[in-house]
């Protein structure tokens, strides 16, 4: 069994308004940060998982992302995977 | 109708379950039974209400964890049999997360938790959820949500409009919902999800009775 560290990034789809991102953008500008064109908030999920090789682990993570971590009606996801 | 029983689902974090039960029993004399989310036996209930609240603390996304409860797994067959399911607020979120209804509910446009009475237009009579003796086309119900902005893609919206699946629209959109949508049904009409709370509008002494006929319609065949 190989063990992998996976980082999943879940983001609101570009077509979905992100009011929390807008509010944070507004606060960033008030802080004095210049040049911010866009700010959107997502989630990062860290998973440690074991399986027989990368392909098997990718299958498990794909299922988790598609069915649980993200709601694909409003969110996109991507992940990176590192063998431990 | 004597034995007709409405199952009121209780998740960890539900907080409108008792209100729904009070409205059904106390105002409409309809028998209710609480159903714990770990139960998958729906054999002795004739209709189901998924009440409002914060199931599983709204972790990950509202309704996302509830979707995997044994009760929601058993709901598929219940819905297919044509029995009626009403999802209120968090219940609506659970119905979209679990795919019984299309679209999703996301954070209100202005980020506020909105607690208010809203005016709603009855758009579709599908399923008979809003039929009332006074033939009212506009009703007033309370809302109380932070994540009630209905969102769907343009293809889904077209399908909702073409198939008359939009049940309720806000007169003055409070949360930024697409097309002012406050509630939708499935194609068959036996599943309704809505953000407003009909169970909080069942007695004149607490502000109105426009929620009565929606709860009463649970007993329709």
What are the mean pLDDT values of chain A's consecutive 10-residue runs (84 residues total)?
A: 96 95 94 95 97 96 97 97 95
- DSSP 3-state helix, strand, coil percentages of chain A (rounded to 5)? 35, 35, 30
CB contact at 8 A, B35 and B11: no
CA dist B40 to B10, B36, B43, B165, B174, Å? Answer: 12, 9, 9, 28, 36
Eight-class DSSP state of B198? G
Is the pTM above the cut of 0.95? no
* A17 contact residues in B (CB cutoff 8 A): 106, 109, 149, 176
Mean pLDDT in residue range B33-57: 95
Q: Phi and psi at residue A77, in whole multiples of 5°?
A: -140, 155
Q: Phi and psi at residue A35, in whole multiples of 5°?
A: 85, 5
Residue B137, chain A, CB below 8 Å: the answer is: no
B106 to A23: CB separation less than 8 angstroms, yes or no:
no
Residue B146, chain A, CB below 8 Å: the answer is: no
Q: Which residues of B are catalytic?
A: 89, 197, 199
- Return the residue in A47, A73, A75 with the most chain B beta carbons within 10 A, the one to mutate for interface testing: A73
Helix H or strand E segment including B170: strand B166-170
- Return the exposure string of B66-86: e unless at least 16 CB atoms fall within 10 Å of the residue's CB, then b: bbebebbebbeebbeeebbbb
CA dist A14 to A75, A79, B109, Å? Answer: 9, 18, 15
Residue B147, chain A, CB below 8 Å: the answer is: no
Q: Phi and psi at residue B63, in whole multiples of 5°?
A: 85, -5
Measure the CA–CA gap between A45 and B23, rounded to whole angstroms. 41
pLDDT above 90: percentage of residues in chain B: 94
- Return the residue in B56, B60, B148, B159 with the most chain A beta carbons within 10 A, the one to mutate for interface testing: B60
- The interface residues of chain B toward chain A in range 11-50, judged by CB-CB distance below 8 A, are none
Eight-class DSSP state of A73? T
pLDDT at B1 over 60: no
CB contact at 8 A, B65 and B37: no
- ipTM of model: 0.85
Q: How far is CA B77 from the centre of its chain?
A: 19
CB contact at 8 A, B100 and B71: no
Nearest chain B Cα to A71, which residue? B97
Nearest chain A Cα to B97, which residue? A71
Confidence bin at B134 (pLDDT 50/70/90): confident
Give chain B's length.
221
* B104 contact residues in A (CB cutoff 8 A): 71, 73-74
Number of continuous H segments (helices) and E segments (strands) in chain A: 2, 3
CB contact at 8 A, B96 and B64: no
Confidence bin at B85 (pLDDT 50/70/90): very high
Q: CB neighbours of B80 closer than 8 A, spacing ≥ 6?
A: none
* B96 contact residues in A (CB cutoff 8 A): 73
Residue B73, chain A, CB below 8 Å: the answer is: no
Q: What is the pLDDT of residues B30-40, one digit of tens each?
A: 999 999 999 99
A68 to B64: CB separation less than 8 angstroms, yes or no:
yes
Report pLDDT for B2.
66
């Amino acid at each position: 069994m190989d063990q992998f560290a996976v980082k999943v990034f879940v983001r609101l789809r570009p077509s979905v308004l992100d009011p929390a991102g807008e509010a944070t953008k507004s606060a960033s500008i008030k802080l004095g940060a210049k040049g911010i064109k866009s700010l959107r908030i997502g989630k990062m999920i860290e998973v440690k998982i074991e399986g027989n090789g990368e392909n098997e682990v990718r299958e498990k993570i794909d299922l988790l992302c598609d069915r649980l971590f993200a709601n694909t009606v409003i969110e996109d996801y991507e992940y990176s995977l590192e063998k431990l | 109708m004597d034995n007709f029983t409405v199952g009121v689902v209780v998740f960890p974090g539900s907080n409108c379950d008792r209100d729904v039960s009070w409205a059904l029993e106390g105002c409409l004399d309809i028998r209710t039974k609480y159903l714990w989310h770990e139960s998958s036996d729906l054999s002795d209930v004739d209709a189901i209400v998924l009440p409002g609240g914060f199931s599983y603390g709204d972790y990950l996304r509202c309704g996302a964890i509830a979707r995997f409860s044994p009760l929601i797994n058993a709901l598929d067959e219940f819905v297919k049999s044509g029995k009626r399911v009403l999802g209120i607020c968090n219940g609506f979120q659970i119905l979209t997360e679990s795919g019984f209804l299309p679209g999703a509910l996301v954070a209100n446009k202005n980020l506020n938790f909105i607690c208010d009475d809203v005016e709603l237009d009855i758009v579709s009579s599908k399923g008979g959820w809003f039929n009332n003796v006074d033939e009212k086309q506009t009703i007033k119900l309370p809302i109380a949500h932070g994540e009630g902005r209905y969102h769907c893609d343009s293809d889904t919206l077209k399908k909702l409009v073409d198939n008359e699946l939009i049940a309720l629209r806000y007169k003055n959109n409070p949360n930024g919902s697409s097309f002012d949508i406050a509630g939708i049904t499935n194609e068959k009409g036996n599943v309704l999800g809505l953000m407003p709370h009909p169970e909080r509008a069942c007695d004149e002494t607490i502000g109105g009775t426009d929620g009565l006929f929606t709860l009463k319609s649970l007993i329709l065949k």
